[in-house]
């Protein structure tokens, strides 16, 4: 399969402070390969003016090296109309002028999303479903008291195996501080990968700092690649690598990095997304970044994000529900260019309207042959359907789970305040659905 889930990177113009830092790094790099690595990393985020392009390539020793570097910028120039004065005429020899003109002959100005800040803001969602601080402290204390690494891992496995709550990035950071060896951190990450709500680039850098050997740092980065939530800050991670070859390896690992969904995590296998489209999903809220969303618009953004992260082994379906239930497809679809594109088009059309028929939504999800994990999202309590009492629905779920073994990763998405909200009851219901099926429970809510 081709790279069906790839998307074009969002580009930003680089601010003067960050550009000056980048130029200094490129100038100080001892070899052409090191300079290229730095430029490639910058190009995963930034676009440049022609004058800035020359400022980055002029430190290359030979004109052939300058041309090699220039070729990297072809889709990252915002003022190509200035190419003659600011780039082509800067080459010393006529051959360099000719070849640079050929390189830029059919280049068009690239589109950008505005100027990048020094550091991109990290969205901070309030997870009400996280471990209680006291409970986590007890677990961490138990792990730390173990003398041997295998005992520490076993203690972590026992603690996190049967509890549906997830771990916030800050809680995960405290957990990793209990371990010394990279192999133990990798093992623990595999144990908690569904419960890990994400990790930031700064936390990755701190984690990499625990290790002296570059190969260990690369191993850790590979393991956490899909857990990063603020991918626009990925260039910061390269500073954790000291040598040009390992820096280039790290750059390659980060090259196609896609952000982890705050809501759905990293779905794998045979999955069905059951998404609430009831009228209350039009409720709005403001994030710490200052942006305002409706509940549904944010969920749609996250669902599109997660569809783009599917690997070729994933099979999926999408079931929107309100008063009734719809199905994108009758069964599970394999990941292809076509299915990904169609699924995203389908999600874009979601509108908030109607009641909340939880029973019918879950019954339909469990009827899909082969499903392994159901991602069930709601912002409220059942208001319609053949069964509306949560106890009755849970009892039916137990029966369906017994015959299919499909678990429910439940999400109570309760950002903002809607007049009909009953957040404590929603949290309790979602936790029970996850607990009785062996899934993970998330509650994301604001006051």
Q: pLDDT band for 4, please (50, 70, 90 cuts).
A: very low
In this structure, are residues 440 and 434 in contact, taking their beta carbons and an 8 Å threshold? yes
Q: pLDDT band for 9, please (50, 70, 90 cuts).
A: low
What residues are paired with 165 via a beta bridge? 441
Q: Rounded mean pLDDT of 405-430?
A: 96
For the ranges 15-19, 240-244, 321-325, the maximum mean pLDDT occurs at 321-325
The reply to whether the predicted model has a pTM over 0.85 is no
Q: pLDDT band for 447, please (50, 70, 90 cuts).
A: low
Percent of the chain with pLDDT over 90: 68
Q: Give pLDDT tens digits for 292-340.
A: 999 999 999 999 999 988 988 999 999 999 999 999 999 999 999 999 9
Q: pLDDT band for 5, please (50, 70, 90 cuts).
A: very low
Secondary structure, 3-state, the chain: CCCCCCCCCCCEECCHHHHHHHHHHHHHCCCHHHHHHHHHHHHCCEEECHHHHHHHHCCCCCHHHHHHHHHCCCCCECCHHHHHHHCHHHCCCHHHHHHHHHHCCCCCCCCCCCECCCCCCCCCCCECCECCHHHHHHHHHHHHHCCCHHHHHHHHHHHHHCCCEEECHHHHHHHHCCCCCHHHHHHHHHHHCCCECCECHHHHHHHHCCCCCHHHHHHHHHHHHHHECCHHHHHHHHHHCCCHHHHHHHHHHHHCCCCCECCCECCCCEEEEEEECCHHHHCEEECCCCCEEEHHHHHHHHHHHHHCCCCCCCEEEEEEECCCECCCCCCCEECCHHHHHHHHHHHHCCCCCCCCCHHHHHHHHHCCCCCCEEEEEECCCCCCCCCCCHHHHHHHHHHHHHHHCCEEEEEEEECCCCCCCCHHHHHHHHHHHHHHHCCCEEEEECC
Q: Give pLDDT tens digits for 196-217.
A: 888 889 999 999 988 889 999 9
- Ranking 20-24, 40-44, 75-79, 218-222 by mean pLDDT, the lowest is 40-44
Residue 275 has pLDDT above 90, yes or no: yes
- Ranking 174-183, 324-333, 393-402 by mean pLDDT, the lowest is 174-183
- Ranking 114-123, 357-366, 383-392, 396-405 by mean pLDDT, the lowest is 114-123
- Ranking 238-252, 259-273, 276-290, 352-366 by mean pLDDT, the lowest is 238-252
- Ranking 42-51, 94-103, 365-374 by mean pLDDT, the lowest is 42-51
Residue 408 has pLDDT above 90, yes or no: yes
pLDDT of residue 393: 98
pLDDT of residue 388: 97
């Amino acid at each position: 399969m081709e790279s069906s889930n790839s998307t074009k990177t969002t580009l930003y113009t680089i601010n003067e402070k960050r550009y000056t830092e980048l130029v200094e790094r490129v100038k100080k790099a001892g070899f052409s390969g090191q300079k290229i690595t730095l430029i490639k990393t910058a190009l995963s985020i930034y676009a440049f003016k022609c004058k800035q392009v020359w400022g980055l390539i002029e430190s290359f020793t030979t004109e052939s090296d300058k041309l090699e570097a220039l070729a990297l910028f072809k889709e990252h120039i915002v003022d190509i109309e200035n190419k003659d004065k600011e780039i082509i005429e800067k080459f010393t020899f006529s051959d360099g002028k000719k070849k640079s003109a050929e390189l830029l002959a059919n280049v068009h100005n690239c589109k950008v999303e505005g100027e990048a800040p020094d550091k991109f803001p990290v969205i901070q969602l309030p997870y009400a479903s996280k471990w209680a601080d006291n409970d986590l402290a007890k677990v961490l204390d138990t792990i730390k008291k173990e003398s041997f690494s295998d005992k520490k891992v076993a203690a972590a496995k026992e603690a996190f195996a049967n509890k549906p709550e997830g771990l916030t990035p800050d809680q995960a950071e405290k957990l990793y501080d209990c371990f010394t060896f990279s192999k133990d951190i990798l093992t623990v990450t595999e144990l908690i990968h569904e419960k890990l709500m994400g990790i930031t680039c700064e936390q990755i850098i701190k984690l990499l700092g625990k290790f002296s050997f570059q190969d260990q740092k690369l191993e850790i980065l590979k393991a956490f690649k899909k857990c990063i939530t603020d991918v626009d800050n990925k260039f910061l991670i390269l500073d954790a690598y000291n040598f040009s070859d390992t820096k280039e390896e790290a750059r390659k690992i980060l090259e196609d990095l896609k952000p982890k969904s705050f809501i759905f995590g990293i779905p794998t296998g045979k999955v069905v997304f059951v998404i609430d489209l009831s009228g209350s999903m039009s409720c709005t809220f403001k994030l710490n970044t200052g942006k305002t969303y409706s509940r549904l618009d944010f969920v749609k953004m996250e669902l599109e994000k997660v569809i783009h992260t599917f690997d070729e082994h994933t099979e999926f379906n999408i079931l929107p529900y309100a008063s009734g239930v719809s199905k994108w497809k009758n069964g599970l679809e394999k990941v292809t260019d076509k299915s990904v594109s169609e699924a995203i088009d389908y999600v874009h059309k979601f509108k908030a309207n109607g009641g909340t028929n939880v029973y019918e939504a879950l019954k339909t999800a469990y009827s899909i042959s082969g499903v392994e994990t159901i991602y069930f999202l709601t912002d409220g309590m059942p208001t319609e359907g053949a069964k509306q009492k949560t106890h009755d629905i849970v009892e039916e779920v137990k029966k369906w789970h017994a015959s299919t073994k499909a678990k429910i990763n439940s999400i109570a998405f309760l950002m903002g305040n809607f007049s009909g909200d009953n957040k404590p009851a929603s949290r309790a219901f979602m936790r029970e659905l996850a607990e009785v099926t062996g899934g993970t429970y998330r509650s994301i809510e604001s006051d």
